[in-house]
Every structure is written in structure tokens, then in C-alpha cells.
């Protein structure tokens, strides 16, 4: 029997709370997507049998790299030349860092630029605990605060598989190709406020005229997933002057899928959601009928309707998650159609299993033809986490299964697990050898271009006949 948990008032703040608090206090914020080496310095080295090697980590980097452009800017005070008798110059500076995720630990960290090495700067003297378990493509967030004795840098690590990573991306409009950036939270908030206020003038006019309901229907309704996906595809085609998204005519079709789903469509979605939620908020608080609103009435409405407002904000986050997977399927479908690749979608194969796509068809795959073995199942997941295990059941013991994703945060052990089940991963070309992901070196990982050339194109004549 389930039991109601006791209320706890001494629980630590969540990462989302810490992130919002930091952005509300810092004048400048550095966000860096961590490379594999930026994480591996904190992880235990293992021997060939998988046993820990005492006192050894996976590399000797001792901390993440700070981009050269950040070192050259004014986020940190200028580095000083280290006194030494010989060798190439070393520039450095000690800084005070604070780590709320590590018991608010305060550290004297060290920025070091070895001119004999790369242009990037080492940041050392950090707590390993906040780095060692991060997934690939996670984030380091450093907020600059001004204290009595100068700058203090409050630091958070944001796991790429967490909801906080999406929150961070929303706050700073971080797209799929982001590596690092410097932000001024006040300026970011002002930019968002201006966007809302530009639309607010139209909302106010509609409410005062008694036309808020029709205005919402015509100007602030989120398109269904298919329509929004088609809008993103249309924007891509127009941008590149093409009439269809043909994977055989594109150098990097996987990167194109990532751009359409993670950048173009995401921007469209955010604008529609901003409009939709703004109008819904006005209608919750003010209603649809224009009238004189006193300050006391407004305050009462805010208090009375707080549960609905809270539910509205929660539904916004859930809406983002629920639409992403379906949207990616639409982009895959458009690319298959653009390349004249025969396929069936959402066909029930057995025991109510319903894979996203079968190429070329279930009938062909189940036929006794010699070429039947060339048929395959293609499943689309914009993010994986543990969901690939659902897909594995679709193989039925003899079918070839390919799983396509634009997710860059899959850990190496998960890729190995997929290989043990015969699952092939199809990813954007730019991620295959990326230092931000762990896809490199796995035989069951293919770029979308390689997948099309090796597993589709040679079989098209048989599939079409």
C-alpha cells in the first residue's frame, strides 16, 4: 500500500531552483557544453577487466577547458605571467568558485593557459563529484557575482538528460549546434519581455474590444504536430532553394534532420507557445468580457486562479516533451518520401507491436523472396534514454532494426547494450566523431548518409519491384 510522504521543509534546492537563483543574481553567465575530456578527468579509470585503477582517472586534464575567447574577454580578470626560469610562457590566475551542488563548497580554483599547448585555458581545483556522473553533452554554468573581496564564480553542472538542461536551453535559446556562450541574464530577460510586450499590445486591444476568444483562435493557437513539422520543413526547403528533402541529394541528411527538428521547428514552437500561453493567461485572470478591473479585483483573481495558472505553466513543459517524438517521425517520413524510398508507417506486425517505419513493407519483409532479408525496421526517437529497449522488442528475433535519433547524450555503455541486441544507431553525421558525444568507435553506429548509401540505396530496385 502506498503511503503519503511527510512534508519536508529542509530539503535541498533542486537544480532548477539553483539555476533560476543564479541567473537572478549573476551579471554575466558562461555556459559551456562539456566535451568528453571535460567530464572524464573526474571519472575513475578502469583496467581491461573493468576494475577501478586506484588513484587514476580517465585522463589527466584535471578539469574542463575554458574557451580562448572567454579568456580573452572580461569575464575573468586578466591572467598574469607565472614566474619561471625557462620554458614557454604560462599565464594564470586563481579565482574563487562556489559549488551549490557540492554542499555549497567554496574553492580556490586555478585558471592556467599553457602557451606551449592549445589556446584553451585549463580550469582546475574543482569538485569531481559534480562532474563524474554527467552524460555526454552536459553543461557547465558559471555565474559571476560581485562580493566584498571581488568576483566569486558560482558554478553548476547541468546533466544533458535532465529537465534542467531543457530549462537552460529555453532560457538562453541554446540550439543544437551550441558549444559555448556568454550571456547577460538581464539582457536576455529584457529581450524576452520585449517579445511578449509586442504581442501584448495586440492581446490588450482584442480583450478591450471583446474579441479575445476569436483573437486566440486566429492568432494564438498551437498548430497540430504535423502542421508545425511541415512548416519547419517548408522553411528549410525555402532557405536552401529545394523542392523536397531528398537524403540522396544531401551531403549530411542526418544533420539536416537535426537542424529541422532541433532548431527550425523548435523556434517556431516557442513562438507559438509564447503566444498561446500569453492569451490563455489573460483569459484566466481577466475573463473574456471587457470590464473595469480594479487593483483589488486583479489581486483576488491572481490568488483565486493560481492553481489554473500553475497548471498552465506545467502543461507548457509537458507539451514540449510530448510533441518532440511525433514531430521527429514526421521529418523522417518527409525524408523517406523525398528520396522516393518505399515504406509503411505504424503497421502492426505481431503481438500489437507497431514500429514507426518498415522499409519497404511488411508484406515484402515476410515474403519468401531471397531479397526479403534486405527489409528493415526504422524507429525514430528524438531522445533515447531507456526508450530504445521498447524498440528492441520490435525485432521479432530476425528483423534488422535501425534506430535513428538526434540525441547526443547517449552514454557508451548504452550503445554497447544496443549492439548486444543487434540494434544499429543512425545519427547526424556531425555527431559521429564529435568530442561532445560518445558515438565514436562503435560499429553499430552509422551516420544517416552512410545508412542511406549502404542499407537503402543498394536495395531500392528490389524494393520497388
Element (H, E) at 456: none
Structural domain range at position 386: 344-464
Contact 134, 159 (CB under 8 A): yes
The Cβ-side half-sphere exposure at 109, using a 13 Å CA radius, reads 28
**Residue 146 CB-density burial (10 A; 0-12 exposed, 13-18 middle, 19+ buried):** exposed
What's the pLDDT tens digit per position in 296-329?
Answer: 888 888 888 878 877 776 676 666 666 666 788 9
Q: 327 and 349 share a domain?
A: no
**Domain membership flag for residue 6:** no
How many whole angstroms separate alpha carbon 112 and alpha carbon 81? 10
Which among 308, 299, 393 is positioned nearest to 352, based on CA atoms?
393
Q: 177 and 197 share a domain?
A: no
Q: At 387, is the pLDDT very low, low, confident or very high (cuts 50, 70, 90)?
A: low
Q: Provide the percentage of residues in the chain whose pLDDT is more than 70.
A: 89
- Tell me what the mean pLDDT of segment 419-434 comes to: 92
Average pLDDT, the chain: 86
Q: What share of the chain is helix, strand, coil (3-state, %, to 5)?
A: 45, 20, 35
Q: At 76, is the pLDDT very low, low, confident or very high (cuts 50, 70, 90)?
A: very high
What's the pLDDT tens digit per position in 438-464?
Answer: 999 999 999 999 999 999 999 999 998
Q: 317 and 449 share a domain?
A: no
pLDDT at 149: 84
Q: 34 and 95 share a domain?
A: yes
- Tell me what the mean pLDDT of segment 262-269 comes to: 91
Q: 315 and 202 share a domain?
A: yes
How many whole angstroms separate alpha carbon 451 and alpha carbon 428? 11
Among 147, 167, 183, the domain-final residue is 183
How many whole angstroms separate alpha carbon 251 and alpha carbon 256? 9
pLDDT at 81: 92
How many whole angstroms separate alpha carbon 362 and alpha carbon 354? 11
We report the CATH number of the domain holding residue 451 as: 3.40.91.80
pLDDT at 426: 95
| Structural domain count of the chain | 3
Secondary structure class of 176 (helix, strand, coil): coil
- Tell me what the mean pLDDT of segment 135-155 comes to: 94
Among 308, 338, 368, the domain-final residue is 338
> Is the pLDDT at 157 greater than 50, yes or no?
yes
> Is the pLDDT at 421 greater than 90, yes or no?
no
Among 305, 338, 371, the domain-final residue is 338
> Is the pLDDT at 8 greater than 70, yes or no?
no
> Is the pLDDT at 403 greater than 60, yes or no?
yes
DSSP states of 335-396 as a string? HHHHTT---EES---STT---SEEES-HHHHHS-SGGGGG-EEEEE-S--TTTHHHHHGGGT
What's the pLDDT tens digit per position in 79-88?
Answer: 999 888 777 8
> Is the pLDDT at 393 greater than 70, yes or no?
no
Task: Mark residue 380 as left, alpha or beta (left: phi above 0; alpha: psi -120 to 50; beta: remaining).
Answer: beta
Question: Could you tell me which residue, 273 or 29, shows the higher pLDDT?
Answer: 29
Residue found under cell 490563455: 280
Q: 214 and 304 share a domain?
A: yes
Q: 308 and 418 share a domain?
A: no
Q: 288 and 371 share a domain?
A: no
> Is the pLDDT at 287 greater than 60, yes or no?
yes
> Is the pLDDT at 9 greater than 50, yes or no?
no
pLDDT at 39: 94
Amino acid at each position: 500500500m502506498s503511503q503519503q510522504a511527510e512534508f519536508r521543509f529542509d530539503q535541498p534546492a533542486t537544480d532548477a531552483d539553483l539555476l533560476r537563483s543564479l541567473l537572478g543574481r549573476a551579471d554575466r553567465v558562461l555556459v559551456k557544453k562539456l566535451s568528453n575530456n571535460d567530464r572524464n578527468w573526474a571519472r575513475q579509470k578502469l583496467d581491461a577487466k573493468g576494475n577501478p585503477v586506484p588513484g587514476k582517472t580517465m585522463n589527466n586534464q584535471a578539469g574542463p577547458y575554458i574557451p580562448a575567447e572567454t579568456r580573452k574577454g572580461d569575464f575573468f580578470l586578466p591572467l598574469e605571467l607565472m614566474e619561471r626560469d625557462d620554458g614557454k610562457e604560462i599565464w594564470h590566475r586563481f579565482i574563487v568558485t562556489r559549488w551549490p551542488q557540492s554542499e555549497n563548497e567554496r574553492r580556490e580554483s586555478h585558471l592556467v593557459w599553457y602557451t606551449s599547448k592549445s589556446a584553451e585555458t585549463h580550469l582546475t581545483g574543482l569538485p569531481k563529484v559534480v562532474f563524474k556522473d554527467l552524460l555526454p553533452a552536459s553543461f557547465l554554468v558559471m555565474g559571476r557575482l560581485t562580493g566584498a573581496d571581488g568576483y566569486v564564480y558560482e558554478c553548476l553542472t547541468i546533466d544533458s538528460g535532465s529537465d534542467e538542461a531543457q530549462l537552460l536551453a529555453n532560457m538562453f535559446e541554446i540550439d543544437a549546434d551550441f558549444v559555448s556562450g556568454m550571456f547577460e541574464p538581464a539582457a536576455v530577460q529584457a529581450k524576452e519581455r520585449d517579445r511578449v510586450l509586442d504581442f501584448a499590445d495586440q492581446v490588450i486591444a482584442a480583450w478591450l474590444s471583446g474579441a479575445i476568444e476569436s483573437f486566440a483562435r486566429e492568432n494564438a493557437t498551437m498548430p497540430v504536430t504535423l502542421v508545425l513539422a511541415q512548416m519547419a520543413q517548408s522553411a528549410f526547403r525555402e532557405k536552401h532553394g529545394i523542392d523536397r528533402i531528398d537524403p540522396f541529394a544531401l551531403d549530411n541528411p542526418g544533420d539536416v534532420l537535426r537542424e529541422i527538428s532541433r532548431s527550425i521547428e523548435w523556434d517556431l514552437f516557442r513562438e507559438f507557445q509564447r503566444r498561446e500561453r500569453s492569451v490563455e493567461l489573460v483569459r484566466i485572470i481577466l475573463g473574456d468580457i471587457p470590464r473595469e478591473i480594479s487593483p483589488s479585483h486583479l489581486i483576488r483573481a491572481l490568488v483565486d486562479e493560481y492553481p489554473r495558472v500553475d497548471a498552465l505553466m506545467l502543461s507548457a513543459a509537458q507539451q514540449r516533451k510530448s510533441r518532440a517524438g511525433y514531430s521527429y517521425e514526421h521529418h523522417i517520413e518527409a525524408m523517406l518520401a523525398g528520396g522516393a524510398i518505399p515504406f509503411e508507417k505504424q503497421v502492426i506486425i505481431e503481438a500489437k507491436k507497431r514500429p514507426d517505419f518498415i522499409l519497404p513493407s511488411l508484406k515484402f519483409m515476410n515474403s519468401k523472396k531471397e531479397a526479403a532479408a534486405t527489409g528493415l525496421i526504422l524507429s525514430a526517437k528524438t531522445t533515447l534514454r531507456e526508450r530504445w529497449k521498447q524498440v528492441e522488442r520490435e525485432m521479432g528475433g530476425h528483423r534488422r532494426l535501425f534506430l535513428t535519433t538526434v540525441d547526443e547524450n547517449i552514454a557508451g555503455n548504452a550503445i554497447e547494450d544496443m549492439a548486444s541486441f543487434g540494434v544499429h544507431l543512425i545519427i547526424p553525421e556531425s555527431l559521429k566523431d564529435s568530442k561532445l558525444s560518445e558515438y565514436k568507435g562503435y560499429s553499430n553506429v552509422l551516420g544517416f548518409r552512410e545508412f542511406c548509401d549502404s542499407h537503402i540505396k543498394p536495395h531500392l530496385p528490389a524494393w520497388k519491384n
